[in-house]
Amino acid sequence: MKSNKYKKTSLLNNDVFDKLSNEWWDENGSFKALHSFNLIRIKYLKNRLLTFSNNSLKNLKILDVGCGGGIFCEPLARLGANITGIDTNQRAINVARDHAKAHQLNINYQKIDIEDFTSKDKFDIITCMEVLEHVEDIGQIISKSKLLLKKNGLFIGSTINKTLSSFFFAILLAEKVLKIIPKETHEWKKFIRPNYLRKHFLYNGFSEIEIDGVLYNPLKNTWKSSKFSKINYIFSAQNS
C-alpha cells in the first residue's frame, strides 16, 4: 500500500486556523470540545501505557504531531513527560509557546512539517489528536512516525470515521446548526474509516492496534468512551 506523494500543505487548513489563533485557550470558544476531550485522551493514553511503563508518563519522550496551540501538550508536560509539539501553523505555535512560558512549562514547540522534522533521540510515544482527518496522506505520517518511534513505542491518536453519521453530526450539526466549530473546519472526504487506518499501520509494521469509539455530548460539552465508533474514535498502535 504505497502512499501518494506527500503534500507539505497537508496538515491543518492554515487559513481557517489563522482566524482562530486567539481562541486556542478560550475553554468556551471554538476549541472547547478539544479542551473537554483531554480527560478521555489522557485516560486512554495512560491506560495504554500499562503495557510498558507502569502507567506513568514521567520522563517519557512524547512528540505531538499537529499540536496547534498546545492544548494536549500542556497536560502531558504537567504529568512529567518531555514534550515536543510540531505544527505547520505559525500563529498556533506562537500561542503555544507564549502560553507554556506564562505557565512555566518547558515544552519544545517547532513550526515544522513532520516530513522535515528530525530528532537525535527517538520517542516513546507519538500523539496525533484530531489531525489525520485534515491531511492528504495519512500513510506518510504513519511511515515517518515509525522512523521517529522507539521499538515498541506507541502511536496514539483520535480522528473521525467516514460514515453518514459523521457527516450529519460532525459537519451538518456541529458546523452548520449548533456552530460548535467554524464552518469548513472539516471535509467529509478526508474522514477515515478504521479499517483503512488499520491497513496503513499493518503495512508500516505496527501491531497491537486498538480502536475504540468516543461520543461527544455538545449540550454538556462532555465526552465518554463508547462501543459506538461511527463518528469519533481513538486509537493506538505499537511499533513492532
pLDDT tens by residue, 175-191: 889 888 888 889 999 99
Domains of the chain: residue spans and CATH? 14-161+192-239 (3.40.50.150)
Q: What is the pLDDT of residues 56-103, one digit of tens each?
A: 899 999 999 999 999 999 999 999 999 999 999 999 999 999 999 999
Cell of 51: 503495557
Cell 503495557 -> residue:
51
Nearest-angstrom CA–CA distance, 63 and 127: 6
Computed over every residue of the chain, the mean pLDDT equals 90
pTM: 0.91
CB 141 within 8 A of CB 39: no
**Res 20 pLDDT > 90:** no
Q: What is the pLDDT of residues 114-127, one digit of tens each?
A: 999 999 999 999 99
**Res 12 pLDDT > 90:** no
What letter would DSSP give residue 95?
Answer: H
Select the more confidently predicted residue: 212 or 54: 212
